[in-house]
Structure 1
Amino acid sequence: MGDMVLGVGAGVFIIALIWIVTLALTTFLTRATGPTKLGIIPVFLIAIIITLVLVFFPRASEVPSAEREVQIVDTFFIGRYVLLSLVSVVFLATLFMLLPLHFLEPVYAKPLRTH
């Protein structure tokens, strides 16, 4: 069972794409005038035939093979979390050192203009 996305194979996405294109073409052809409007019938029949071929003649077997899947192991797991915690502590320390400078900035009174 090679290329699986969200638990389904590529055939499901191909069938969905075929029916999306069919829906778009039929929408365009319904707005046409004259004999062009009859183009909906072959488009719909071709979509049905391709769908039936993909459903009834699949390339892959239904039973998964006994191949062992590659297991990815993160060997730097602990080091990554130590680095994350160190960066978080440094960020919080700089934030709390910067806030007093921001809030305690002196505000000087403006001189009054006397005429």
Structure 2
Amino acid sequence: MVNTVLGVGTGVFVIAAVWIVALVLCMVLLRAAGSVKLGIIPIFLLALTISLALGFFPRTPETRPAFKEREIVDSLFIARYVLLALV
């Protein structure tokens, strides 16, 4: 979780920005006359679709592995073969 601000990731800010823009566009379209007001419906559905896509398909997993598996390394490999050669 490197890209966090106040413990919140980038996706939350993207979703908030999408809904703020959708809300502003809906308020602007409410002031319009005639059938232009119906433009609110596709804007709302687009914001909903973007939010659901970002929610259901996150870029990173929610949980990270708690520990790294230990790797067994023989650090005395060369010394053992030198000792074996001398014996």
Instruction: Please report the TM-score for the alignment, with normalisation by the length of structure 1.
Output: 0.55
CA RMSD in angstroms comes to 1.5
Name the counterpart of 1:48. 48
Unaligned runs of 5+ in 1: 68-115
Name the counterpart of 1:2. 2
User: Kindly, what percent of the aligned residue pairs are identical?
Assistant: 57
Distance 1:10 1:53 in 2: 14
Unaligned runs of 5+ in 2: 68-87
Name the counterpart of 1:21. 21
Count of equivalent residues: 67
Alignment deviations for residues 27-46 of structure 1 (CA, whole Å, 9 cap, x no partner) = 00001011211100000000
Q: Hey, which bits of structure 1, 4+ residues long, moved more than 6 A?
A: none
Distance 1:52 1:61 in 2: 17
Higher relative contact order (CA 8 A, sep 6+): 2
1:20, distance to aligned residue in structure 2 (A): 0.5
1:66, distance to aligned residue in structure 2 (A): 6.1
